[in-house]
């Protein structure tokens, strides 16, 4: 049952949690067990917060009906995205021990939607490169053949999703950093239109080339996560339109990382 939950689509998991067919704690324990089993082989999740995530899952269960669309679903943020109180290295020795004092607006938004941070995913130094390795955490391996590259720079996110360690994940794209690892790992990486997902804080708020986007096992789940990221914001850029509904659900691809 535990591994089955890990390969259940994100949209279905969210419905099951809301209908109380499964608890948020149950779901979180399943993903924690999958990470502990598979991640040592692929090195996709580089900061892992199981105790913190379980605590948040139990807190969410006490909220009753007041649940957001992503309530109880685990997520890991690309290690470029600032997370308050959680180490964010940007894949660089310069930031090896860096712990941000505030959250990126994306983290605030997904937390408000009910998603629970389970850790950070690997990226090349400062996200610069189409392979995922750095001097802080080493290389992330392709889940189908560990001797091959997983692509980059959102390689940690793509591998974690392909291996069932997350139902979906956060990524970013300037020159195929979402699309490249998704292709290498047989998952979906979507580069949204610039401005669709607000980006604050950003080094250059007027630079529309890098964008924030989702990684998932199906198009439907990618759209589900994108919808939660795409509301207008007083911080950062404003989207051209608001995402509303995901397309019909598709069966998830199953790969366990072995």
* Active-site residue list: 78, 153, 177
Decide the pairing of beta strands 74-78 and 116-121.
Answer: parallel
Q: Which two tokens stand for residue 251?
A: 């069966």
Helix residue spans in the chain (DSSP H) = 2-6, 10-18, 24-42, 50-61, 105-112, 155-162, 179-185, 219-229
| Whole-number Cα distances in Å, 205 to 14, 149, 228 | 33, 32, 21
Q: What is the DSSP string of 110-160?
A: HHHTT-EEEEEE--SGGG-SSS-EETTTEEPBPSS-TTSB--SSSHHHHHH
Cis previous bond, 21, omega within 30: no
């Amino acid at each position: 049952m535990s591994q089955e939950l890990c390969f259940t689509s994100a949209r279905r998991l969210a419905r099951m949690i809301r209908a109380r067919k499964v608890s948020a704690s149950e779901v979180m324990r399943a993903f924690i067990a999958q990470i502990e089993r598979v991640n040592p082989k692929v090195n996709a999740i580089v900061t892992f917060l199981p105790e913190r995530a379980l605590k948040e899952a139990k807190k969410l269960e006490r909220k009753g009906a007041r649940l957001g669309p992503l309530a109880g679903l685990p997520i890991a943020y690309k290690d470029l995205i600032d997370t308050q109180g959680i180490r964010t290295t940007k894949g660089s020795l310069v930031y090896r021990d860096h712990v941000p004092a505030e959250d990126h607006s994306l983290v605030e938004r997904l937390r408000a939607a009910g998603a629970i941070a389970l850790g950070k995913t690997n990226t090349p130094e400062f996200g610069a490169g189409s392979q995922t390795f750095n001097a802080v955490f080493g290389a992330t391996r392709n889940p189908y053949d560990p001797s091959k590259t997983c692509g980059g720079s959102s390689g940690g996110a793509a591998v974690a999703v392909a291996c069932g360690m997350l139902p979906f994940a956060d990524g970013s794209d300037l020159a195929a950093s979402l699309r490249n690892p998704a292709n290498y790992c047989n998952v979906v990486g979507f580069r949204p239109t610039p401005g669709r997902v607000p980006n604050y804080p950003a080094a250059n708020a007027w630079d529309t080339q890098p964008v924030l986007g989702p990684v998932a096992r199906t198009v439907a789940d990618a759209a589900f996560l994108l919808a939660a990221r795409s509301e207008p914001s007083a911080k950062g850029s404003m989207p051209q339109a608001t995402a509303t509904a995901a397309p019909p659900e598709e069966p998830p691809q199953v790969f366990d990382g072995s």
